[in-house]
Structure 1
Amino acid sequence: MPGRRVAMDDQRRIITTDRAGSIWAGITWCSLLLFIVAGIIGMMAQTMLPANLGYPQLHDSGVPTWLTWTVVGLDVVAFFIPPLVTTSCGRKAKRLGHPVRSAVQIAWATFAVVTVISFLLVFFG
């Protein structure tokens, strides 16, 4: 059945390097949505962890120092993951000919801002 093989070959989709690079560029931009998940994790750490241990708020006078630093550490770790994923996807897209430096820069800038704000709140909040 040679005619059948031709029909199957016509239906088979070939992903070129250019198309794959475009797909990875889109994945890189979509990976910035992980900051939403990181923000939810950060908010949960700031509200639920102290509340479950019997403290009204994180920056209350009776809250132990270890708890404050644990919450800050969770924030930093939660916001460190999206830039890593974005950088990894960006490298793959760049290798395939579609550099997306701006998405990677946005991810690392967001991480830097959140980290600085977290530490400022600990020391001056």
Structure 2
Amino acid sequence: MSGRRVVMNDQQRIITTDRAGSIWAGITWCSLLLFIVAGIVGMMAQTMLPANLGYPQLHDSGVPAWLTWTVIGLDIVAFFIPPLVTTSCGRKAKRLGHPVRSAVQIAWTTFAVVTVISLLLVFFG
């Protein structure tokens, strides 16, 4: 049987451009779920990092400024990754004929809101 090649035509599936576009559109919407992971990472950074360094809470009077800025930086970076992934998936879906602008706008708006709230809490909290 070394010279025979068996092809199962009933098992082959052709994915059209339209189908691929709708798949990438779904992936774009599902990538918004990464904000859940980002929120968990942000909460862990705010609670566990100061606690492991011996401080009761992040906003206590004795917490050094570098620790506060490190936690805020981690929070912003954690919330910056989901919009990047969503934008990348959205571009692929748009290239395949399925624009998902609203998912990308939701992602960047969420990032902007979280960033503004984090910075406002540092400066005025």
CA distance in 1: counterparts of 2:23 and 2:3, whole angstroms: 33
**Greater helix content:** 1
For structure 1, the 5+ residue unaligned runs are none
CA distance in 1: counterparts of 2:93 and 2:3, whole angstroms: 38
- Offset of residue 8 of structure 1: 1.9
- Offset of residue 9 of structure 1: 1.6
Alignment identity in percent?
92
How big is each residue's C-alpha offset from its partner over 1:89-124, in whole Å with a ceiling of 9 and x where there is no partner?
Answer: 000000000000000000000000000000000001
Moved more, 5-14 or 112-121: 5-14
CA distance in 2: counterparts of 1:101 and 1:16, whole angstroms: 22
TM-score (norm 1): 0.94
Per the alignment, residue 36 of structure 2 pairs with 36
For structure 2, the 5+ residue unaligned runs are none
How big is each residue's C-alpha offset from its partner over 1:27-69, in whole Å with a ceiling of 9 and x where there is no partner?
Answer: 0000000000000000000000000000010000000000000
Q: Root-mean-square deviation (CA), in Å?
A: 2.5
CA distance in 2: counterparts of 1:64 and 1:72, whole angstroms: 13
TM-score (norm 2): 0.94
> Which structure 1 residue ranges, 4+ long, deviate > 4 Å from structure 2?
1-7
Q: CA, structure 1 residues 2+61, in 2 after alignment: closer, same or farther (shift >3 Å)?
A: closer
Q: CA, structure 1 residues 94+61, in 2 after alignment: closer, same or farther (shift >3 Å)?
A: same
